[in-house]
Amino acid sequence: MNKEKSIFSPIKAWKYLLRKPITVLKKDIFDKPREASLRYRGFHQNDWEKCLGCGTCSKICPTNAITMIEVSTLEDKEGYKNERPAFDYGRCTFCAICVDICPSDSLAMSREYLHVSKDADTFYFLPDSTGIHGDSFAKGYVRDSDSELLDLTRYEMELEPVGRKTSFMEIVKGYSLERALAESARCVECGICTDACPAKMNIPEYIKSIWEGDMKGAVEYLYKTNPLANVCGRICTHMCEGVCALGHRGEAISIRWLKRFIVDNTPMDEYEEAALSTVTEAVNGKVAIVGSGPSGLSCGYYLRTLGYEVDIYEERALPGGVIRYGGPEYRLPEKSVLKDIGMIEKAGVNFITNTKVGRDISLDELQTKYDAVFLGTGFSLSRPLKIPGYEHKDVGYAIPFLAETRDYLRETSDMPDVHEKAVVIGGGNVAFDVGRTLVRLQQVKYGADFVSMAALEHRDILPCDIEELEEGEEEGIRGHFGYGPAEILIEDGKISGLRVKKVISIFDEDKRFNPKYDETDTFVIEATQVFIATGQMPEYAFFNETMLEEIEIAKGQVKVGKYGQFNKFPWLFAGGDIVQGPDIITGVANGHDAAEGIDIYIRAKNN
Amino acid sequence: MNEVKLFLGPQHPGMHGNYSVHMYVDGDIIKKARPTPGFLHRGFEKLMERRYWMGNLALIPRICVPEPDTNEMVYAMGVEALANIEIPEKAHWIRMLVLEMARVAIHLMSLGSIGGPTGLYTATYWAIAQRDLLLDLFEELCGARIYHMYIVPGGVRKDLPEGFTDKVLAMMDELDEKIPEYEDLILKHPVIHARTKDNILLPAEVVWELGVTGIGMRSAVGKEYDLRKVKPYAYYDKVDFEVPTATYSDALTRLNLKVRELYQSMRIIRQVIDKMPSKGAVNVPVSTGSALRWTVPAGMVYSAVESSRGEYGYFIVSDGKEMPYRIAVRGASYPQGLLGIEKYLKGHRIDDASLWMDSMGVCTPEIDR
């Protein structure tokens, strides 16, 4: 080493005296803290307005630092849980994976990094959007599209091409195994869907079963709350998908199609074993069910799992009600209906068909023969539309027409009378069922189709599902939306068309149904046949006089207590459309509830 | 004379991390040394079997705290190999940028930490302060100074913030000025020379015997055995850099190599910034579904990168589920930090024990894992 240099070299260290230090002074630590970077992963902030309470943050947290805490002050909102995440900073590693996976984007981390306290409890806290000290620090780390940890795009369901309209083949192809697995992998298991489902189906559980490849387990989950999984896997109104946590930033999980995947792809022996695993010996009593629609079938199945003998009375030749005689074959094939009903039959439910309660057997008789009676008769009649010309023989109604078509496809009756040009009045799902069924029948009979539709509502507010509208139009239905029926024109005893007039408003100031028309804006829809699909109504011929007096009926529906039990007639229960409606899954839920109520009632009676 | 037993660590200013060496001394000379790992043993490998593939991100940087990025990289590389996915071009460049910045940071720390065993604390203050300025850049990039959690399976977590590369380049320019000062202060300092020259030797035979890699090996055997050269990952084959070597490995040589590597890392960083595309994706999904249900195809893989201490590897076994089946970590400091201490610390003076740990490159958590 150079001796000279070593003597003088310390002098050059003096220049460092002038350098600005990079340390923060102690007195500034709290008053003027160093500003954290824009992406800083500091303390959590949670926007309670956005937060769903889904708990996905808590599930992904690698250190179990997040606990979902029930907040009783939050109001109940559909699609939201009244839970919010609380963070334990004794465990948190500030990895921000919770922020990246948050389905509602409510979580963020602030640029605040100082928390000093002697009280260890302050390190466990429930953040709102103001953060740990209520100081509303600027946001630091937030999720962006690069750090996304959810799969927001649904695996589209394939449809048969438009040539499908020449036959009644099922139009929805169903998921392949690969797609079902990928779709089920998107689920975050929050269970918000379960809360929204009328039947409270174990949706996250059965989706997880698919993902794990446990099909038998999946069927078991389905049958816990819904014995019509084949039907609901195809035509459910899927309220679950409307609230799916993934729907907030992306596309909801195809819960309905996953359910269908389960029922279509489970080996029959495993399926049967799972579906019947809870059925027990009928030793507790006898129950009669009136009507074999969804609510009746569901009630019957669950009564069998509770140990009751069940007889279901059905007016028509085959059990099933709306699922056998209503839903069109191209959406709900006969084999699916048969699988559900067959399983319920295997569970030991007796069907007494061609027997109408109130005509062939009275309700009083049922009361004496059985311990309890459940009514699930549904809205079985079409609501008439009394416009000029409605009594013509070529004016048809939705319910009988759809039933006849199903019978025709089962080869138990002739093809319903279908003209070359027809018009359907109505804009709901049933109207589209009629329209699209007509298209198919015309294709079979004439090799061409010409079906028009007139509905009061405009295209964007039609009460039907969007798929019905899109697929219906794809199949060639000519929609005249926003036009109400004025009269059915008849020339030489034959219908020549339907004159429609423009709708100005549908509801009046009191929000009552009271359509107003522009009488000057009219035109004629060409058709020789008219179908009316403007709603259904119930039939209560089976009630005796005392019942009719005692039972309150409002808007066609009966008033019942808990479990669908009639207050004045504790042996009598009801469910489905005549109580709640308007869909199958609600009927299934009502049936399940009633089965529980019937069990409680009969046990109390026997003790 | 009577043998005396002394403990170096787990609480000791000269000790790196929570680690302990039981020394049996006679006078000033260590007669026998027993390394005692386990103070930091949190069972990382086992814990990883109970975390989602993404959730492990919070755990892996902790296996070597001062150098989190190599852990993240080696994990990500393994998962990507199992999942058979190709990550976007830009992600490769960003990863290299991060890894070389990390190398600069740890070498600075290593230069600074020589102050502990030698008493030259100015070195500590200067080098650690410089490293902190580099950590500011990391904070800007990923939101944290130490546990970056930035390199993820599939790419990197977020794109570079606006103007980030300019700041990195400015930092490189600053380092160009500063490093000679550190060289003056540290490498040419008489105290350091007195303590490190011809002291704590690592002969080639020991390298082969223990399986030492990294600077330890390169300084002893003169071979350019650097994974970035011999088995390039990311885009290391697309940049020019040299691997400094030596054939006589004492503590001073190893320190010198670290500084020479610093310059090479800075050279790589400048090339990376030059070659990196400005646009493009920075990651691809590892698997379909949400991160709760990411799966990695069944299989096993060994992935390795060149850390500041040598070959750092993960052996990952997947059974196709949402969590790893088994992960084994090859900590780069295992050979010298565990086997080396046991066999070769004896014969040194007591005051050289911590210098031994420092200059051999020992990061104790990766021995415990």
* Domain count of the fold of chain A: 4
Residue pair A502/A483 in contact (Cβ under 8 Å)? The answer is yes
What radius of gyration do chain A's Cα atoms show? 32
A155 inside domain: no
| Domain end marker among A521, A536, A551 | A536
Given an 8 Å threshold on Cβ–Cβ distance, is A146 in contact with B288?
no
Chain CA centroid to CA B184, Å: 25
Helix, coil or strand: residue B234: coil
Q: Work out the number of other CB atoms within 10 angstroms of the CB of residue A118.
A: 5
CA separation for the pair A159, B236 (Å, rounded): 48
CA separation for the pair A125, B335 (Å, rounded): 44
A467-514 pLDDT per residue, tens: 899 999 999 999 999 999 999 999 988 999 999 999 998 888 888 888
Given an 8 Å threshold on Cβ–Cβ distance, is B139 in contact with A56?
no
Residue pair B194/B120 in contact (Cβ under 8 Å)? The answer is no
Which chain B residue has the Cα nearest residue A111? Answer: B143
How far is the alpha carbon of B149 from chain A, nearest alpha carbon, in Å? Answer: 7
Instruction: Give this complex's ipTM.
Output: 0.91
Instruction: Assess whether A173 and A225 both reside in one domain.
Output: yes
Instruction: Assess whether A444 and A391 both reside in one domain.
Output: yes
A15 inside domain: no
The set of residues, in sequence order, having a beta carbon less than 8 Å from that of A168 and lying 6+ positions away, is A328, A329, A330, A409, A440
A21 inside domain: no
Contacts of B52 in chain A (CB under 8 A): 60, 62
Q: What is the pTM of this model?
A: 0.89
Single-letter residue type at B162: E
Instruction: Assess whether A398 and A516 both reside in one domain.
Output: yes
Contacts of B54 in chain A (CB under 8 A): 60, 97, 149
DSSP A258-310: HHHHHHHHS-HHHHHHHHHTT---S-SEEEEEE--SHHHHHHHHHHHHTTEEE
CA distances in angstroms from A98 to A54, A363, B12, listed in the order given: 12, 58, 37
Residue pair A349/A312 in contact (Cβ under 8 Å)? The answer is yes
Given an 8 Å threshold on Cβ–Cβ distance, is B144 in contact with A41?
yes
Residue pair A54/A143 in contact (Cβ under 8 Å)? The answer is no
Given an 8 Å threshold on Cβ–Cβ distance, is B56 in contact with A62?
yes
Q: Phi first, then psi: what are they for B104, rounded to 5°?
A: -60, -45
Q: What is the largest CA-CA distance in chain B?
A: 71
Nearest to A149 among B54, B56, B188 (CB): B54
The fraction of chain A above a pLDDT of 90, given in percent, is: 71
Dihedral of CA atoms B77, B79, B84, B85 in degrees, nearest 10, equals -70
Given an 8 Å threshold on Cβ–Cβ distance, is B132 in contact with A186?
no
The set of residues, in sequence order, having a beta carbon less than 8 Å from that of B175 and lying 6+ positions away, is B104, B130, B262, B266
CA separation for the pair B329, B311 (Å, rounded): 11
Binned at pLDDT 50, 70 and 90, residue B8 comes out as confident
CA distances in angstroms from B117 to A34, B14, B336, listed in the order given: 32, 5, 18
Residue pair A303/A287 in contact (Cβ under 8 Å)? The answer is yes
CA distances in angstroms from B74 to B19, B40, B95, B304, B306, listed in the order given: 24, 21, 11, 6, 9
The per-residue pLDDT for B1 is 62
Query: Which residue blocks in chain B are alpha helix, DSSP H?
Result: 44-48, 68-83, 89-113, 115-118, 121-142, 164-182, 190-196, 204-210, 214-221, 227-230, 251-275, 334, 341-344, 353-360, 365-368
Q: Give, as one character, the DSSP assignment of residue B183.
A: I
Which chain B residue has the Cα nearest residue A34? Answer: B136
Contacts of B288 in chain A (CB under 8 A): 151, 181-182, 185-186
The per-residue pLDDT for A26 is 84
Instruction: Assess whether A454 and A504 both reside in one domain.
Output: yes
Binned at pLDDT 50, 70 and 90, residue A4 comes out as low
B342-360 pLDDT per residue, tens: 999 989 999 898 888 888 8
Give the lowest-confidence range in A23-37, A172-186, A579-593: A23-37
- Bridge partners (DSSP) of residue B155 are B152, B283
Nearest partner of B265 among B238, B233, B242, judged by Cα: B242
Fold type of domain B4-368: Cytochrome-c3 Hydrogenase; chain B (1.10.645)
DSSP A433-468: HHHHHHHHHHHHHHSS--EEEEESS-GGG-SS-HHH
Nearest partner of A267 among A215, A231, A229, A221, judged by Cα: A215
How far is the alpha carbon of A13 from chain B, nearest alpha carbon, in Å? Answer: 10
Place of tokens 């109408």: A356
Instruction: Assess whether A71 and A50 both reside in one domain.
Output: yes
Burial class (CB in 10 A: 0-12, 13-18, 19+), A444: middle
The per-residue pLDDT for A2 is 47
How many beta-carbon contacts under 8 Å exist across A and B?
111
The per-residue pLDDT for A89 is 93
A10 inside domain: no
Nearest to A185 among B140, B147, B289 (CB): B289
CA separation for the pair B54, A64 (Å, rounded): 14
Q: At what angle do helices B89-113 and B68-83 cross, to 10 degrees?
A: 150
Given an 8 Å threshold on Cβ–Cβ distance, is B290 in contact with A93?
no
Nearest partner of B263 among B290, B249, B279, B244, judged by Cα: B244
The fraction of chain B above a pLDDT of 70, given in percent, is: 99
B357, two tokens: 């740990």
Burial class (CB in 10 A: 0-12, 13-18, 19+), A143: buried
Helix (H) or strand (E) holding A599: helix A584-606
A160 inside domain: no
Given an 8 Å threshold on Cβ–Cβ distance, is B290 in contact with A147?
no
| Dihedral sign of CA atoms A131, A137, A140, A145 in order | positive
Q: What is the largest CA-CA distance in chain A?
A: 128
B187, two tokens: 């490498």
How large is the average pLDDT for residues A155-180?
89
Instruction: Assess whether A433 and A528 both reside in one domain.
Output: yes
CA separation for the pair B71, B342 (Å, rounded): 26
The per-residue pLDDT for B299 is 96
Q: Does B289 touch chain A (CB under 8 A)?
A: yes
A205-231 pLDDT per residue, tens: 999 999 999 999 999 999 999 999 999
Nearest to A22 among B55, B133, B190 (CB): B133
Instruction: Assess whether A385 and A532 both reside in one domain.
Output: yes
Locate the domains of chain B by residue range.
Answer: 4-368
Nearest to A62 among B51, B142, B193 (CB): B51
Binned at pLDDT 50, 70 and 90, residue A286 comes out as very high
Instruction: Assess whether A525 and A545 both reside in one domain.
Output: no
Q: Does A22 touch chain B (CB under 8 A)?
A: yes
The per-residue pLDDT for A31 is 82
Residue pair A326/A347 in contact (Cβ under 8 Å)? The answer is no
How large is the average pLDDT for residues B201-208?
92
Contacts of A9 in chain B (CB under 8 A): 184
| Domain end marker among A254, A276, A298 | A276
Contacts of A140 in chain B (CB under 8 A): 143
CA separation for the pair A437, A327 (Å, rounded): 10
Nearest to B139 among A40, A109, A182 (CB): A40
Burial class (CB in 10 A: 0-12, 13-18, 19+), B232: middle
Contacts of B159 in chain A (CB under 8 A): 146
* Higher per-residue confidence, A107 vs B64: A107
Q: Does A87 touch chain B (CB under 8 A)?
A: no
Instruction: Assess whether A390 and A358 both reside in one domain.
Output: no
Which chain B residue has the Cα nearest residue A178? Answer: B288
B134, two tokens: 């580099």
Mean pLDDT, chain A, rounded, equals: 91
Report the relative pairing of strands A308-313 and A529-532 from DSSP bridges: unpaired
Instruction: Assess whether A352 and A301 both reside in one domain.
Output: yes
Nearest partner of A380 among A310, A336, A430, A422, judged by Cα: A430
How large is the average pLDDT for residues B251-262?
93
Please determine, for residue A27, whether its predicted confidence score (pLDDT) is greater than 90: no
A61-75 pLDDT per residue, tens: 999 999 999 999 988
Please determine, for residue B319, whether its predicted confidence score (pLDDT) is greater than 80: yes
Q: Work out the number of other CB atoms within 10 angstroms of the CB of residue A477.
A: 23
The per-residue pLDDT for A6 is 64
Given an 8 Å threshold on Cβ–Cβ distance, is A38 in contact with B193?
no
Q: Give, as one character, the DSSP assignment of residue A184.
A: H
Please determine, for residue A24, whether its predicted confidence score (pLDDT) is greater than 70: yes
How far is the alpha carbon of A149 from chain B, nearest alpha carbon, in Å? Answer: 5
Residue pair A206/A262 in contact (Cβ under 8 Å)? The answer is yes
Helix, coil or strand: residue A406: helix
In A, residues 206-225, which contact B (CB 8 Å cutoff)?
211
What are the strands, taking DSSP E only, across A428-576?
451-455, 478-481, 483-491, 494-507, 513-526, 529-532, 536-537, 553-554, 557-558, 572-574
The per-residue pLDDT for A574 is 94
Most B CBs within 10 Å, among A9, A95, A207, to test the B interface = A95
Which chain B residue has the Cα nearest residue A62? Answer: B55
B19-44 pLDDT per residue, tens: 889 999 998 999 999 998 888 777 88
Contacts of A146 in chain B (CB under 8 A): 157-159, 281-283
CA distances in angstroms from B224 to A230, B100, B201, B214, listed in the order given: 67, 18, 19, 9
| Domain end marker among A97, A124, A149 | A149
With b for 16 or more beta-carbon neighbours within 10 A and e for fewer, the A245-276 pattern comes to bbbbebbbbbbbbbbbbbbbbbeeebbeebbb
Place of tokens 């050279």: B267
Most B CBs within 10 Å, among A7, A147, A211, to test the B interface = A147
The per-residue pLDDT for A381 is 87
Please determine, for residue A589, whether its predicted confidence score (pLDDT) is greater than 60: yes
Given an 8 Å threshold on Cβ–Cβ distance, is B143 in contact with A140?
yes
Can you give the length of chain B in residues? 369
Residue pair A97/A62 in contact (Cβ under 8 Å)? The answer is yes
How large is the average pLDDT for residues A377-402?
90
With b for 16 or more beta-carbon neighbours within 10 A and e for fewer, the A172-209 pattern comes to bebbeeebbbbbbbbbbbbbbbbbbbbbbbbbbbbbbb
* Higher per-residue confidence, A83 vs A8: A83
Residue pair A444/A166 in contact (Cβ under 8 Å)? The answer is yes
> Could you tell me the residue range of the domain that residue A357 belongs to?
286-379+538-606
Residue pair B56/B288 in contact (Cβ under 8 Å)? The answer is no
How large is the average pLDDT for residues A371-387?
90
Nearest to B290 among A94, A144, A151 (CB): A151
Instruction: Assess whether A364 and A435 both reside in one domain.
Output: no
Most A CBs within 10 Å, among B56, B145, B293, B294, to test the A interface = B293
How far is the alpha carbon of B266 from chain A, nearest alpha carbon, in Å? Answer: 22
B300, two tokens: 């096993």
Q: Give, as one character, the DSSP assignment of residue A565.
A: B
Q: Does B136 touch chain A (CB under 8 A)?
A: yes
Given an 8 Å threshold on Cβ–Cβ distance, is A1 in contact with B139?
no
A545-583 pLDDT per residue, tens: 888 888 999 888 999 999 999 998 999 999 999 998 788
CA separation for the pair A139, A131 (Å, rounded): 10
Nearest partner of B259 among B123, B133, B64, judged by Cα: B123
How large is the average pLDDT for residues A144-170?
90
Given an 8 Å threshold on Cβ–Cβ distance, is A95 in contact with B141?
no
CATH of the domain at A498: 3.50.50.60
A72 inside domain: yes
